Amino acid sequence: MSGETAITVSATVNGRRQTFTCEARETLADALRRRCQVRGVHLGCEHGVCGACTIRFDGVTARSCLMFAPQADGAEIVTVEGLADGDELHPLQEAFSRHHALQCGFCTPGFLMVAQELLAEGGPLTEEVVREAISGNICRCTGYHNIVEAILAVADARSGEAEK
Amino acid sequence: MTGTRHGHEPGVGGVGAVVRRHSDPALVTGHATFIDDIESGGTLHLAMVRSPFAHAEIKGVDASAALDLPGVHAVLTGAELVRHAKVQPVGWEHIDNQRAAPTYAMAVGKVRYCGQIVAAVAAESRALAEDAAELVEVDYEPLPVVHSIEDALAPDAPRLVPEWPDNVFGSQTYGNGDADAAFADAEVTVSERLTFGRQFGCPLEPRGAVATWERYTNRIELWINSQSPNRVREVVAEVLGVPVSGVRVRVPGIGGGFGSKANYYGEEILCCLLSRLTGRPVKYIEDRQESFVATSHAREQRIDVAVAATRDGVITALRGHIVGVLGGEISSVGMGPVWLSAVSIPGPYRIPNLELSVTGVLTNRTPYGSYRGWGAPKATFAMERIIERLARELGVDSNEIRRRNFVRPEEMPYSNGVFATLDSGRYEHCLDLCVERLRRDGWYRFREEARAAGRKVGIGVAAFVESTGIGPSRVMARLGIAQGGYDEAVVRMDSTGRVTVFTGQTEMGQGMSTTLAQLCADELNIPVDQITVVMGDTDACPYTGYGTGGSRAAAVGGVAVRQATGELKRQILRVASHQLEVDVADLEIADGLVQVRGLPGYGRTLADVAYAAYRRLTDVGEGTTPTLQGRAVFDPVALTYANGCAGVVVEVDPATGGVTVLGYVMVDDCGTMINPQIVDGQLHGGCAQAIGGALLEDLVYDRNGQLLTTTFMDYLLPTAMEVPPFSTVHVETPAPNTPGGMKGVGEAGTVPGPAAIAAAIDDAVDDPAVFVRHLPVSPEQVYRFCNAAG
Ligand code: FES
Ligand code: FES
């Protein structure tokens, strides 16, 4: 490791405790991809703008390309791989597919993580609120129209259930 | 890529059905495989040493410090490269006087743009390779920089290729009728100089490649996120001097392409070569900053356009002169996109006298290549702007001018005498639908109310045609393009009755694996979820003359799949006919059976027919060839023309110069729609790119040839805040020369938007002195429009 100190990091990734060794300068995104084998963390810019690398870090979304791997020691991390319940897709994943809210799908993990956080906040969702919430993520394929629809559809289904 | 049973709607899911995409479950769960997920044991990682100068002699490269770093395996320079590699081929050699500017996979002796590769470092990890790249000492002697068109064409300009008399790569004029006479006799003439900024496809996933050159078999296995695996295979073979059969190109999931991944590049050659030199798999993943200097640029042009017309607004002649700002090296498409802009300016209009010219100049910028829409967005910008200008001159509504000049359906096929033969379409109908939808969505009323309240809201409309389904091999040959325009497809039924489609097309997010399966399902009348589409492997998949681009995957590749399926179907019926002792003509496939027409349920299951064809040959009669497989090659007889109209509503803020897109109507005639949901998705994405191109995206160079916009903070891609909801309208005029009627929809969204947005800004500012002449239009420019008129 080019003479650098190797650092041991222990974190919970999608519910499983993982311990790995990394370089001090390694980004969390790289460590998750290469050492924890969660390949749904995508790298679109590595400078914190596109949101493709978004994960949930101790309960809040974070851009894993802007964090160092050693910062994850003791952390609770959820990536897109942690959303589905076995073979059962998360309602957002299901809605993204049904509404054609993904084309190449490279940005999708980031959008799903952000949308999941938005839904968890539980407030009423309008188109404006959704657009604002996802404005930190870039999608080059879809033009966002169907992403917004998919998120609103899940929100609507939830509020429908709540009223029952 | 295998079909899964996730979530298909019941029924066959053939042409016209909304079928959920096969690829979605893996993508939404993070389990899809992209290029950076490909890595076998022992892989070395490549980092590039890229030139900090736009134009310089390379006096020497000292890699000793880099090579001393433990874990560094090799450093390749241009001097070494030429011992192993030939020049990169240029696919498009279609301009009569086109010059040759030999380009290698990396700089040899001289750099001609910032970011050009000077050395490639292979090391145990990417981080280590980057460390080592910083230790490579390059001795540059800077040369004067050619920054702009004016610089390039100045009589005493420094020359990028010293052997040339100037910096002109090629130049050609095309004509029909007598434009000079028509202009001389004209009742009205208007002219404008327009410019379009430099932009690029910018897929969210950068380019990447992983190469393994097997020493003992002398075979290269190359994984690459390319839209043209067949072409990459041939190029690798040609450049590295190995047989085509010795190269296997494989394509994983692609994180967006937009044409930029249809070009071929030096990086994949370097991966192959370094694999041979090190004996290890070698991987390169472009980082975002590199992508701005290393992935093909596009769009930048200067356009002089003029029309002659009668006082009634009938256009009698058009002149268009385009200069394309090429880069310091020639990309794999030469000056193809610039040429297409020039010959496409007449668009959907009947203009008897044409004079169109194109010139490509070299500048010290990143090479100019493909980006979704190719020539069409600039051609449409030119034509629709000059129509707006003419409308102002005559004091009539620009839509009236459009109506008076549209080629009408009964005039088709209509040749404009230069390049296009408009095959089908109802252009005026599309315009009507666009205006109608804008009205239905309330935008005209909204504009009046907003204006009454002192707000600056405007509506702009632009009509377009776009050559799609590229391309008939005859047209390609006539243009001097060293590629075919056909597609081959193979469709097999296995011994259990399941069907696999093999295609040379690639999936880059546009849903091609699903739509090809739908065409096959439609032909066989079996559920789409019983069909698997295999693509992205040159050892397993058929050949395509051109790859995936030019809105051709459905209109050419799809037809080949349909025809191969037809052949498969004939074989299935033949076997069943023997089994049932019924004439082939009396059989049909329905409900999983080959059954006798009019006797539903009387027949054999497809599984049984398939089993017989493979494993119970006694059932199929003498002389019947075992197995079930159809193969077809489809070469279209002519290009087809997708067409339509965009209507955009904007609000301009005079205090900040900000432009907000409020509404966006896109009317599109892509011929027969295979999957309407996917068609909408293609339009949405293209329209968002049109917004980016009109308002945000700009690759800005300083006078020294340094690119100033190399992050997403500087090169602004549209986010959900800049993009409105879209209102799409579909017209389906089947393409007369395409069996099945598809025209193609991959690029259409990008085409009319820039022109429509320019018109909408004019309308919003509503000042006779204001006319948008340059895109992307900056807030500063709009502020000046609003505050000082100009
Ligand atoms: S890769 Fe982290 S924000 Fe783009
Ligand atoms: S689906 Fe391709 S970037 Fe969003």
Give B213-271 pLDDT, tens digit per residue.
Answer: 999 999 999 999 999 999 999 999 999 999 999 999 999 999 999 999 999 999 999 99
Ligand 2 proximity of A102 Cβ (cutoff 6 Å): yes
Ligand 1 proximity of A43 Cβ (cutoff 6 Å): yes
pLDDT surpassing 60 at residue B4:
no
Q: Which residue of A has its CA nearest to B27?
A: A105
Domain boundary (A51, A82, A113) is at: A82
pLDDT surpassing 90 at residue B313:
yes
Do A74 and A115 have their domain in common? no
Q: How many CA atoms lie within 13 A of B171 on its CB side?
A: 11
Selection from B518, B387, B367 nearest residue B461 by Cα: B387
pLDDT surpassing 50 at residue B7:
no
Categorize the per-residue pLDDT at A164 as very low, low, confident or very high, splitting at 50, 70 and 90: low
| 8 Å CB contact of A105 and B255 | yes
What was the ipTM of the complex prediction? 0.97
Number of Cβ pairs < 8 A linking chain A and chain B: 175
Say if CB A72 and CB A9 are below 8 A apart: yes
Do A147 and A115 have their domain in common? yes
Categorize the per-residue pLDDT at B9 as very low, low, confident or very high, splitting at 50, 70 and 90: very low
- The pLDDT, as a whole number, for residue B789 is 52
Check residue B722 and give left, alpha or beta (phi > 0: left; psi -120 to 50: alpha). Answer: alpha
The C-alpha of A164 sits at a distance from chain B's nearest C-alpha, in angstroms, of 26
**Euclidean distance between CA atoms B281 and A100, whole angstroms:** 36
- The pLDDT, as a whole number, for residue A32 is 98
Is the Cα torsion angle B741, B745, B751, B757 positive or negative in sign? positive
Give A52-71 pLDDT, tens digit per residue.
Answer: 999 999 999 999 999 999 99
Chain A interface mutation, best of B1, B18, B27, highest count of A Cβ atoms under 10 Å = B27
Helix (H) or strand (E) holding B411: none
CB of B20 less than 8 A from some CB of A? yes
Residues of B with Cβ-Cβ distance to A144 under 8 angstroms: 684, 688, 719-720, 723
Do A21 and A52 have their domain in common? yes
The C-alpha of A16 sits at a distance from chain B's nearest C-alpha, in angstroms, of 17
pLDDT surpassing 70 at residue A8:
yes
Is A1 inside a domain boundary? no
**Euclidean distance between CA atoms B707 and B702, whole angstroms:** 7
Ligand 2 proximity of A144 Cβ (cutoff 6 Å): no
Is A147 inside a domain boundary? yes
Bridge partners (DSSP) listed for residue B502 = B490, B534
Which of B219-223's residues contact partners 24+ apart within 8 Å by CB, and which partners? Answer: B219/B246, B219/B247, B219/B248, B220/B246, B220/B247, B220/B248, B220/B272, B220/B275, B221/B248, B221/B250, B222/B247, B222/B248, B222/B249, B222/B250, B222/B268, B222/B271, B222/B272, B223/B35, B223/B38, B223/B249, B223/B250, B223/B251, B223/B252
Selection from B168, B90, B165 nearest residue B360 by Cα: B168
Residues of A with Cβ-Cβ distance to B689 under 8 angstroms: 140
* Three-class SS state of B674: coil
| 8 Å CB contact of B677 and A148 | no
Domain boundary (A59, A82, A105) is at: A82
Give B190-216 pLDDT, tens digit per residue.
Answer: 999 999 999 999 999 999 999 999 999
| 8 Å CB contact of A132 and B721 | yes
CB of B71 less than 8 A from some CB of A? yes
CATH number of B486-634: 3.30.1490.20, 3.40.50.20, 3.40.50.300, 3.30.365.10?
Answer: 3.30.365.10
Do A98 and A157 have their domain in common? yes
CATH 3.30.365.10 residue ranges of chain B are 423-470+638-790, 486-634
- The pLDDT, as a whole number, for residue A163 is 67
| 8 Å CB contact of B288 and A46 | yes
Pocket test for ligand 2, best of A53, A99, A106 (most atoms within 8 A of CB): A106
pLDDT surpassing 60 at residue B152:
yes
Longest dimension (CA), chain A: 62
For chain B, helix (H) and strand (E) counts, in that order, are: 21, 29
Domain assignment of residue A19, given as a range: 6-82
Q: Indicate which atom in ligand 1 lies nearest the CA of residue A46.
A: 1
CB of B396 less than 8 A from some CB of A? no
Do A104 and A55 have their domain in common? no
**Euclidean distance between CA atoms B418 and B379, whole angstroms:** 14
Ligand nearest to the CA of residue A46, numbered in listed order: 1
Give B113-123 pLDDT, tens digit per residue.
Answer: 999 999 999 99
| 8 Å CB contact of B30 and A81 | yes
- The pLDDT, as a whole number, for residue B481 is 85
**Euclidean distance between CA atoms B37 and A81, whole angstroms:** 15
The total of other beta-carbon atoms located within 10 Å of residue B761's CB is: 27
| 8 Å CB contact of A2 and B69 | yes
Is A129 inside a domain boundary? yes
Interface of B with A in 180-209 (CB under 8 A): 202-206
Number of domains in chain A: 2
Q: What are φ and ψ of residue B640, in 5° steps?
A: -120, 170
Name the CATH topology of B423-470+638-790: Aldehyde Oxidoreductase; domain 4 (3.30.365)
B720: nearest CB among A93, A108, A135? A135
**Euclidean distance between CA atoms B554 and B560, whole angstroms:** 9
Chain B interface mutation, best of A56, A125, A141, highest count of B Cβ atoms under 10 Å = A141
Is A66 inside a domain boundary? yes
**What is the CA(A6)–ligand 2 centre distance, in A?**
35
pLDDT surpassing 70 at residue B454:
yes
- The pLDDT, as a whole number, for residue B52 is 98
For the segment B153-167, the average pLDDT, to the nearest whole number, is 96
Say if CB A92 and CB A112 are below 8 A apart: yes
Selection from A15, A148, A97, A37 nearest residue B28 by Cα: A97
Ligand 2 proximity of A103 Cβ (cutoff 6 Å): yes
Q: Which residue of A has its CA nearest to B34?
A: A106
Question: Distance from first CA to last CA of chain A, Å, rounded?
Answer: 58
Domain boundary (A82, A109, A136) is at: A82
The single-letter code of the amino acid at B416 is N
Q: Domain with A115 in it: what CATH number? A: 1.10.150.120
CB of B678 less than 8 A from some CB of A? yes
Q: What are φ and ψ of residue B280, in 5° steps?
A: -130, 155
The single-letter code of the amino acid at B445 is R
Give B653-686 pLDDT, tens digit per residue.
Answer: 999 999 999 999 999 999 999 999 999 999 999 9
Do A23 and A70 have their domain in common? yes
